[in-house]
Structure 1
Amino acid sequence: MVISPDIENLLCSIERLIQEVSDALVLGDPQALALASAALRQGAVNFSQIVPRLGSAALKTPSLQLRLKRIVGSLAIRRESLIRQTMVVERSLHTLVPASRAVTYAKASGPYGAPGKSSGTFNVVAT
């Protein structure tokens, strides 16, 4: 069974969008990555709306299954690349701006912000 032209066009579009996300990752352009990711997300939503209308016979087509496995594998690779890039950026930030382990607030040096103390005025109230 041959893949329908509508599904073929949608799969080609998703593969192109995955490549755009990959290119944006390689270039390190956050705006391009955000735009490509949003377009890929919309492409995935469009595809998920069409899948229920295909029927089980169309989904069992070996060529469609192979193509979908390739797309899923490609998405997994891009996801891992994004995670790696996130870790590199995070480590770089920690190098530039080390995290402080000191207490955020200093101990109170005066009466304000200090725990309550007895003034000694009411030491003996009743006998």
Structure 2
Amino acid sequence: MSQPTLESLLSALEAQLGFLSLALKTGEVDDMAVQAQSFQSFVVEANALLDPWKPLGPHLQSAEAARLRALAAGLAQVREQMLRRHALVEQALHMVVPAMNTPVYAAAAGPYGAGAKSSGRFQVLSA
């Protein structure tokens, strides 16, 4: 198998990021999950394939460096879109299931937990 060129890796990363961004815009939940998973796995593979070019980082041509910066900016935008969608889903969940707002366990009364509660059985002890 031949080594892919930096140009082909950047093009493939841009295409994957475009698919993920499109899935977020359309709002298809299943498509978002599939595209996010495929983008994540492709980034891991691309990271391993980019190892030969990592020492050349400062010496990249301006066009390649600009494409990498554009990829980073696009990834930041996709991350912000995902965070916004997460916040909307979280708010909707709290509206639909109000029990999500109440704690499951009682809050501790002090630094060492709640005090002992009497059952009311032994009101007075005498010897």
- Normalised by the size of structure 2, how large is the TM-score? 0.72
Q: Does the residue aligned with 1:123 lie in a helix, a strand or coil?
A: coil
Q: Does the residue aligned with 2:50 lie in a helix, a strand or coil?
A: helix
Q: Among the aligned pairs, what percent are the same residue?
A: 23
CA distance in 2, matches of 1:98, 1:28: 25
Report the Cα offset of residue 60 of structure 1.
Answer: 2.1
Alignment CA distance shift 1:67-1:91 (3 Å): same
Q: Choose 9-18 or 91-100, whichever is displaced more.
A: 91-100
Uncovered stretches (5+) of structure 2, i.e. residues with no partner? 107-116
When Rg is computed on C-alpha atoms for both structures, the one with the higher figure is 1
Q: Which amino acid aligns with 1:118?
A: F
> How many pairs are equivalent?
112
Aligned-pair Cα RMSD in Å: 2.8
Equivalent residue, structure 1, for 2:22: 23
Q: Does 1:118 align with 2:122?
A: yes
Alignment CA distance shift 1:102-1:88 (3 Å): closer
Report the Cα offset of residue 58 of structure 1.
Answer: 6.2
Q: Which amino acid aligns with 2:118?
A: P
Report the Cα offset of residue 123 of structure 1.
Answer: 3.0
- Normalised by the size of structure 1, how large is the TM-score? 0.72
Q: Which amino acid aligns with 1:83?
A: L
